[in-house]
Structure 1
Amino acid sequence: MKSEELNNGIVETWTPEEVAAALNAGEIVLIDVRTPAEYAFEHIEGSLLSPMAFTDPKNFPTQDGKRIVLHCGSGIRSGRVADMCLGAGFGRIAHMEGGFGAWKAAALPYIATDMATGAPKRMVP
């Protein structure tokens, strides 16, 4: 994990492997800031959806007990939402480096849409 200290707080950048380990251990809340359509098509199991366009960090859970890690498709939107969180008073927030694309490139499991049936399907590369 890398940390960057900014004027109003610290932004951590986690690798997909670090996020997967923390998610599996129940140590984090993973928030997906992509659009509902992107999330419906494929997402990380256990992640919560809060599209960037409608995100208000005041509605996020506290980080008492579990850290919040944000992710998007590439890491750009989650970085922007991390900045929003710092502006809303969070002292520290994390996001996933490379986003969902990096998660898939790391061959980590996710939920996808089965194109034949439209049903969700676990993908374990």
Structure 2
Amino acid sequence: MKTESLANGTLETWTPQEAADAFERDEIVLIDVRTPQEYSFERIEGALLAPMQAFQPAHMPGQSDKRIVFHCGSGARSKKVAEKYLAAGHDRVAHMEGGFGAWKEAGLSYTGTDMTSGAPKQMKNSG
């Protein structure tokens, strides 16, 4: 994990594998900031949805028990949301480097859409 000190707090940048490992151990809340359409097509199973366009830092869960890790498609939106979260008075938060694309590239499991039926389907890339 990389850390960056910003004016409002500390921004952590986690790799997809670091996020997956912590998520598996139930140590983090993974929050997807992509659009509902992106989320419905493919998503990390168990990640919460909080779209960037409607993001409200005050509505996020606390971090006393679990760290928040934001993610998006490429890492750009999640970094902006993390910065907005810090600007709202929080002292530390994380986002996932490379976003969902990097998650898939790493060969990690996710829920996609079966193109023959339109139904959700467990997927895993070869990485």
Task: Pick the TM interval, shorter chain.
Answer: over 0.9
| Structure 2 counterpart SS, 1:43 | coil
Structure 1 counterpart of 2:109: 109
Deviation at 1:51, TM superposition (A): 0.4
* 2-structure distance, mates of 1:108, 1:10: 27
* 2-structure distance, mates of 1:89, 1:70: 17
Structure 2 counterpart of 1:26: 26
Structure 2 counterpart of 1:36: 36
* 2-structure distance, mates of 1:48, 1:76: 18
Structure 2 counterpart of 1:52: 52
* 2-structure distance, mates of 1:117, 1:64: 41
Structure 2 counterpart of 1:16: 16
Q: Deviations over 1:5-44 (max 9, x none)?
A: 0111000000000000000000000000000000000000
* 2-structure distance, mates of 1:88, 1:12: 16
Identity over aligned residues, as a percent?
62
RMSD: 0.5
Structure 1 counterpart of 2:83: 83
Count of residues in correspondence between the two structures: 125
* 2-structure distance, mates of 1:92, 1:5: 9
Structure 2 gap segments, 5+ residues each: none
TM-score normalised by length of structure 1: 0.98
Contact 2:104–2:124 (8 Å) recurs in 1? no
Deviation at 1:104, TM superposition (A): 0.5
Structure 1 counterpart of 2:96: 96
* 2-structure distance, mates of 1:30, 1:3: 18
